[in-house]
Structure 1
């Protein structure tokens, strides 16, 4: 008997035989841990099966009987416990697991989920939720099953993109060009709804492309005219940047007014908390002179924790802004009393190009403005908080000339609007 056969034992039980093979592991008492499979009708076939298992063990592709019997719900607990993602990402993953994946597979082992089970679940999900949510759920299930290879299953049942079947073009959100006139109407509506902070909020988003949660989190120490002199300087490794910021940005001759994006706000454990910006996209955003004047006026008029305050003075991130504020600002509403505000309020006209649309499209509009004005791709993507891949991302940098160019074209858009509407009207 060869060396491999020393780890295989075949024995007959009734009319069939069973093969046992050493798993490569030991029990706590030091004895070898064996696995087995029965139901064979001849010793040659049983022996070959045992040899196949030993081959897989040597090459790291073997799934033990014990691991193969792992319940899906146990694997989901392990997988969720090993996550290391941003807070909102983890929150979204947990929600999809608990709402869709765990209830469906709660009585199945990981090994039970073959291609047919995968397809059946996909059909089930699409019957319950919209296409976008279903796609995200299937993407998450794919990650979970892929990570189960090779410990719990030999191969993942996830079906990748195939060229079979009829081609379906992905639907794309319809957008209209973002005109300065539309932004001005939104800003005036926001001012009617929650005061001067609302007016400046809309123009700041349009002129910087900041994400909503970044705007909600903006505090005076990271905003013009205070920044960069007021920067808390909490990172010792950033001393060089702090020094360069003082030479490049701020209020004064030769300096560029700017906002520093250092964080966003999100809810966690029932509380509004600070988190790093999405994808760790810390960045400095130069702003045009007219917006610098607005921000200086706003900060001089209030003494609040946040730059853009809600109606009652708190953070916009805590008031369900999209639902309670943005709908009225974009869609319009009749004159009525504001939420928890006793004074009457003027009627808010709708803004047709934004009616029924997302607040986030103002950020998209800023990107379109930068592209229209011909700014370099690297400067544009950096301003939007995106990483530029490849050699371009490695060797490029945002220069003072690029930033001044952005300030110039954004200011020109504002001045063009003033000419068209009449300076007195703005």
Structure 2
């Protein structure tokens, strides 16, 4: 005889019994929607199971049978569709899922509920066996987010094992950096000129004097560069009218105004197309530049008709080439002379720059911040120039004033002038 509760029903079928419990939902015809589980041989055990399910439903921790059976591949589709991150972050997450997570669990035909602690550890072992440490850590981070977001609809708890720090503290190794001397930047700039003309010389001094990110420099176009900006600003955002007017009164090529570059976008690939995207962390900003750099940019823009301030060798965007490999490595590490009747494009030898040999281009940006720190500028002015958000009260109350920007211009110009004095002394002129 079936045991009946208000919301739990026990039914015997042959030698086993099945428990049914009300899911708290109704069918389209108005009848209650039930879930069930069979295979019990003890009626009391089955009844307690039904009561436990009612408890979970009341406390919002219940996973419906049909949700618990959701395949991992289907959940990955839903998770990707719901992403709302910056372009590069989404591209990275999608790549990790399509290349590592989806193939593994699709092969197993696994549901989300099948991924318990043991399945999680098995995947972790597989990833660390096939990938380098940094890549494996990145894959596990993405899988952790995917599984965490499945709680509580698809699984009650996430199987992700969080690392707890125990035992002796172990300091992470830090990248070794050398002080960035103006002489090192000058040699990079000269190598850049040898490699891709006046654009190369101006490129490296612009990065050293502004701290712009590489992709921001690749995507810098005439309308956002001195001497055209801010008069040439497209003014695309109607909510920024006040900022446009303030910029026009503060920056420009006219007497009494400060020369500046506007960082409004970067270039990145989406699929096979190179396009404009907001700068990292949406860190749009105006960057004052010292007079010598302003003159360099004026001469550079007069020397070519490309829309890109720093055109590549073939005239296109630097973002379309593998800059790190094709440009940066020979410029920083040095390269032999190219000459002879069979050489299509002869080139002088380029000496290695010890400060940057084997190092990342990004360290030019780091060096710019070090210069600002050495010169004693305010933390807020420095972080704003680098495109960073300043947390707390300081970030709310502070602002970058004209005297702050003038001080930055002055100190950067002094570095350049001291360099020129030393170069003249070395040459004996």
- Per the normalisation by structure 2, the TM-score is 0.94
Cα distance in 2, alignment partners of residues 78 and 336 from structure 1 = 54
Cα distance in 2, alignment partners of residues 64 and 164 from structure 1 = 38
Tell me if the contact between 2:287 and 2:385 (Cα under 8 Å) persists in the aligned partners. yes
Please list the CA deviations of residues 370-390 of structure 1 after superposition, one character each: whole Å capped at 9, or x if unmatched: 111111111111111111111
Which residue in 2 is equivalent to 1:103? 103
Which residue in 1 is equivalent to 2:275? 273
Please list the CA deviations of residues 217-273 of structure 1 after superposition, one character each: whole Å capped at 9, or x if unmatched: 111110011111111111111111111111111112221110000100111231111
Please list the CA deviations of residues 5-51 of structure 1 after superposition, one character each: whole Å capped at 9, or x if unmatched: 31110112333322111112334444332111223332222212111
SS of the aligned residue for 1:350 comes to: coil
Which residue in 2 is equivalent to 1:22? 22
Tell me whether 1:225 sits opposite 2:227 in the alignment: yes
Tell me if the contact between 2:338 and 2:345 (Cα under 8 Å) persists in the aligned partners. no
Q: What are structure 1's unaligned runs of at least 5 residues? A: none
Cα distance in 1, alignment partners of residues 425 and 105 from structure 2 = 64
Please list the CA deviations of residues 170-203 of structure 1 after superposition, one character each: whole Å capped at 9, or x if unmatched: 2221111111111111111111000000000000
Within the candidate set 257, 260, 265, 1:258 is matched to 260
Tell me if the contact between 2:56 and 2:62 (Cα under 8 Å) persists in the aligned partners. yes
Using the TM superposition, give the Cα deviation of residue 165 of structure 1 relative to its aligned residue in structure 2, in angstroms: 5.1
Matched residue count:
422
Matches within 5 A, 1:194-205: 194-205=196-207
Matches within 5 A, 1:49-88: 49-88=49-88
> For residues 310 and 83 of structure 1, do their structure 2 counterparts lie closer, same or farther at Cα, with a shift above 3 Å needed?
same
Which residue in 1 is equivalent to 2:402? 400
Tell me if the contact between 2:21 and 2:54 (Cα under 8 Å) persists in the aligned partners. yes
Cα distance in 2, alignment partners of residues 28 and 357 from structure 1 = 65
Cα distance in 2, alignment partners of residues 193 and 166 from structure 1 = 50
SS of the aligned residue for 1:36 comes to: strand
Please list the CA deviations of residues 102-146 of structure 1 after superposition, one character each: whole Å capped at 9, or x if unmatched: 112122111111222222222221222222212211111111111
SS of the aligned residue for 1:33 comes to: strand
Which residue in 2 is equivalent to 1:121? 123
Give the CA RMSD over aligned residues: 2.0
Which residue in 2 is equivalent to 1:328? 330
Tell me if the contact between 1:5 and 1:51 (Cα under 8 Å) persists in the aligned partners. no
Which residue in 1 is equivalent to 2:359? 357
Tell me if the contact between 1:266 and 1:272 (Cα under 8 Å) persists in the aligned partners. yes
Cα distance in 2, alignment partners of residues 366 and 161 from structure 1 = 36
Query: Which has the higher mean CA deviation after the structures are superposed, 262-271 or 8-17?
Result: 8-17
Using the TM superposition, give the Cα deviation of residue 366 of structure 1 relative to its aligned residue in structure 2, in angstroms: 0.8
Cα distance in 1, alignment partners of residues 406 and 83 from structure 2 = 42
> For residues 200 and 424 of structure 1, do their structure 2 counterparts lie closer, same or farther at Cα, with a shift above 3 Å needed?
farther
Cα distance in 2, alignment partners of residues 50 and 270 from structure 1 = 54
